[in-house]
Structure 1
Amino acid sequence: MDYQSVSRKQVLFVSERMPKKNSSGAESYNWSVFSALQEADCRISFLLTGDYFSSPIFNEKILKALCAECVFLQKYKKIGPLYFATTLKAYLRPFKRLLSFFSKNNYRDNDLTLKIGKYADLNGLAKLIPKIREKKFDIVFVDTLFRTPVLDLLPDMYKVLVAHDVFHRRCASFKSNGYRVEPDLDEKLESIFWRKYDFILSINSLEKDVISNIVPEIKIQTFYPTSVSCVEPIKSFSSELEPRLLYMGADAHHNRDGLRWFFDTVWPEILLKQPNVYLEVIGDIANSFKYPIENVNFHGRVDDVTKIAAACLFAINPVRMGSGIKIKMVDYFNLGLPCVTTEIGAYGFPLNESTPFVACTDANQFLFVVNDWLKDPNVVEKFNSGTHQYAELFSPSTALGVMNEVLESGDSNCMDARS
């Protein structure tokens, strides 16, 4: 069914913060969902449960500039044209970032407690419910199971979970690497959350199978992230490029751990054989690496990654723990870059004749593959030739097809309820 030819759906998107283009992690995946809803011509409103919006104090003009019907803010109070955060931590957060910026220590595992999410609290939400009821929403999309408590206050409607992850597996992965996890979920607890929904969007096909086996009564479909860096692949391989590699990552535990492992065990050995190779690092991950590292350029967060990516031969993703799907690799492929990664990094990516990555089992294999690719441009070109075709799996048109299936399922559910 083509949803651009029927009445526009009223959608409520419940999230901790606004989806964000050209970002990473949860904000990036939510942007993929948001974009698909836009393409399906839905009328989208947001209920934001966090205090991360723009800044602790902002003007209402910022809300009006968003591509949304309405934005409900749980942790802000409006006084005149201004919105004020109602939590102290919202005002302290900028100072913490400033202190982190001036910190002189490179990242090390001092804190072995990982916070993988936090459950939405209901304080201040009740006052918004009458306004939400007035909108008569057809369907609600909920960003991760941690926002599930909000459903208890919302009017009844078709409920879709944007799962992001199978969190009990994510917890197990982190714990096997020596971390404590908060909150710690097991399969039984996570399945209780899943059963509160009518439809689940899984981030990859492997996790779709996991969820289906546990809650076979719930409808589920794979919704791959779409690239946030560009719409079409931007480059083709050139053997004349300088030996530069690319890494992109947010300042998250699994990224810090993986990149530190790479710097400690792989990068020095690469430089022994390839002293003229450089690594270009993009993203907030730079905040955790303060001191210079030989032949590594830290760019921080940039508005346009394409110029840096166009100068690189290939990308790396040395992640050692986690689950879900690594969105940075989707961006690599759409940027025309094949990738050397780990088995964890490759988890959830389909294998086909155009697969543009190699999954390594240990540091020795990672070192061998990187050196092999640096020595022989023909090997890189072979993997590069598959990036454009492979990136189609993560195209907006693929995402729209899945979204139309979700919306059609919601329609069928409404008709069943009326009959």
Structure 2
Amino acid sequence: MTPRPRLLFVSPRFLFPADQGGKIRTTQILRGMKGGRFEIVLASPASSKAVNRYRDELAGICDRFIDWPEIAQGPLKDLTRFRHLFSLLPIPVISDYSPAGAHTVQQALANEADVVVFDFLHARVLAPEKLDRPSILFTHNVEAEIFRRHAEVASNPIKRAIWQQQFRKMQHYEAASVRRFDTVVAVSERDAENFSAIPGNHQVRTIPTGVDLDYFPYAAPGDEEHLVFTGAMDWQANIDGIEFFMEQVWPQVVARRPHARVTIVGRNPAPSLVERARRRNLPFEFTGFVDDIRQPVQGAAAYIIPLRVGGGTRIKAFEAMAMGLPVVSTGLGVEGLPLTPEEHYLLADSAADFAKALVRLLEDHSLRNRLSRQARDYVEAHFSSQAVADCFEGICRDTLDGNKHSRTRC
């Protein structure tokens, strides 16, 4: 039997628990590819404790796992990251560099790779100067755009200046990165257009966003005035979104619906947010990390995406739609997703419009049910996670074969 070509998949993050959109997308793709055209070797930082805990999950997404020691994250990690403020590289990128990681990747490329995927833009910092294998950069966002948006919404002049500085560094790093790979994979047509506009780049391909429809079964929305949000609460874009919701949207909602309440599901909620809600006696529950997000959101009346910064696509929107949760979102919160307002979700960019949309949902049972059913039907018809995995596998095959004019259509 002819051996399968070996795909080396390099991630700068250990992928479990899959508690962020990028990690969810990556694990779904690898799970769908496992046992297919490629033998998959996954490389990432990890602790021995994490490897033992998630041994079965790793076996479900790769044929072999290789690792290097994770960078220790102490209680002052946010402060120590700022020692990189004057680095030529953006802070999040240089923070992911590891000599052990770079050495492990170099060895794996020499011994085990027919084609290599670097997952997330940050992973490029672990790549050797010269890549002598067919190579793919899997982007989950246009990172420079996220930094620019943070600078635009920052009210503190010092923070704004730091974001602007980091934006310029990220813009340079991102442009240099996409030129180094044979194929760049984007998660939306909009992101692909951004990368295609960079002079000197190679092939840019787009994959759709998918959702595990078996894991997220449908249920009708509830009648209680329960609003929910899911997302890592140590990610600045989510912190900004919840601050915006708490300060500007919530007072307008509760003025009309005084019994409404909010559950925010996500790891490491910012202490300042939790304390602000407690001090003001707001009915906001911060769950912290949960093993299964389905339980705390089940039966909610609406799912909120009040994001003002970010990039890529929002897996959280499709997960909510799959579960039958009516979605209210800013335009940026569903950016990159082919959704139609009033048919699949309610669009609201200003605080007043966001509050009005939520009150409308809470007061209109038939609207909740209509949006719920239409949204589930839509993701069922077009966005299964297996279809996305098949698409990604085809891109890997085309890159390995040196096919500059893609045969794979997604």
Secondary structure, aligned partner of 1:284 = coil
Deviations 1:130-165 (A, max 9, x none): 752564311111022322243326762111111111
2:203 match: 219
Once the two structures are overlaid, the 10-residue window that deviates more, 148-157 or 378-387, is 148-157
Give the aligned partner of residue 355 of structure 2: 367
Counterparts of 2:198 and 2:109 in 1: how far apart (Å)?
33
Answer 1 or 2: which has greater helix percent: 2
**Residue pairs, 1:114-133, within 5 angstroms:** 115-118=91-94, 120-121=96-97, 123-125=99-101, 127-128=103-104, 131-133=107-109
The corresponding residue for 1:108 is: none
The one-letter amino acid paired with 1:73 is: D
1:192 equivalent to 2:176? Answer yes
Query: C-alpha offsets along residues 217-259 of structure 1, whole Å, 9 cap, x if unaligned?
Result: 622222234336x635423425x62121111111211111110
Distance change (3 Å), C-alpha of 1:140 and 1:183: farther
Residue 44 of structure 1 aligns to a residue in which SS? strand
Amino acid in the other structure paired with 1:16: P
Counterparts of 2:229 and 2:105 in 1: how far apart (Å)?
43
- Assess, with a 3 A threshold, how the Cα gap between structure 1 residues 389 and 154 changes in structure 2: closer, same or farther: farther
Q: Secondary structure of the residue that 1:132 maps to in structure 2?
A: helix
Residue 282 of structure 1 pairs with residue 265 of structure 2: yes
Aligned pair 1:204/2:198, yes or no?
A: no
The answer on whether the counterparts of 1:198 and 1:219 sit within 8 Å (CA) in structure 2 is: yes
C-alpha displacement of 1:356: 1.8
TM-score, structure 1 normalization: 0.79
Residues 29 and 386, structure 2, Cα contact 8 Å, conserved in 1: no
Q: How does 1:14-413 map to 2 (within 5 A)?
A: 14-20=10-16, 22-38=18-34, 40-48=36-44, 50=45, 53-54=46-47, 58=49, 61=52, 65=56, 66-67=58-59, 68-74=62-68, 76=69, 90=72, 93=74, 95=75, 115-118=91-94, 120-121=96-97, 123-125=99-101, 127-128=103-104, 131-133=107-109, 135-152=111-128, 156-178=132-154, 179=160, 180-181=162-163, 182=166, 184-185=168-169, 187=171, 189-214=173-198, 218-227=202-211, 231=214, 233-238=216-221, 241-250=223-232, 251-284=234-267, 286-288=269-271, 289-291=273-275, 292=278, 293-352=281-340, 355-392=343-380, 393-413=382-402
Give the fraction of aligned pairs with identical amino acids, expressed as a percent. 19
CA distance in 2, matches of 1:204, 1:144: 14
**Code of the aligned partner of 1:297:** E
Normalised TM-score (structure 2): 0.80
2:242 maps to amino acid: L
Q: Amino acid of the residue matched to residue 236 of structure 2?
A: H
Counterpart CA distance in 2 for 1:346 and 1:63 is 31
Residue 122 of structure 1: how far off its partner (Å): 5.8
CA distance in structure 1 between the partners assigned to 2:219 and 2:199 by the alignment:
43
| Alpha-carbon distance in 2 for matches of 1:286, 1:119 | 21
Which of 18-27 and 407-416 deviates more? 407-416
Partner of 1:9: 5
Per-residue Cα deviation, 1:379-416 (whole angstroms, up to 9, x for no partner): 22221122213324431232123123213313421899
The letter of the residue matching 2:398 is S
Q: Quick one: structure 1 residues 259 and 285, their matched pair in 2 at CA, closer, same or farther if it must change by over 3 Å? A: farther
Q: Is the 8 A contact 1:167 1:185 kept in 2?
A: no
Aligned with 1:319: secondary structure?
coil
Query: What one-letter code is carried by the residue in structure 2 that aligns with 1:286?
Result: P
SS in 2 for 1:23: coil
1:283 corresponds to which letter in structure 2? Answer: G
Q: How has the CA–CA distance of structure 1 residues 28 and 6 changed in structure 2, closer, same or farther, with 3 Å as cutoff?
A: farther
Question: Structure 2: where are the runs of 5+ without partners?
Answer: 79-84, 155-159, 406-410
The alignment partner of 1:348 has SS state of: coil
In structure 1, C-alpha distance between the alignment counterparts of 2:361 and 2:348, rounded to whole Å: 14
Helix, strand or coil for the counterpart of 1:234? coil
- Measured in 2, the distance between the counterparts of 1:225 and 1:313 equals 24
RMSD value, Cα: 3.4
CA separation in 2, counterparts of 1:391 and 1:372? 24
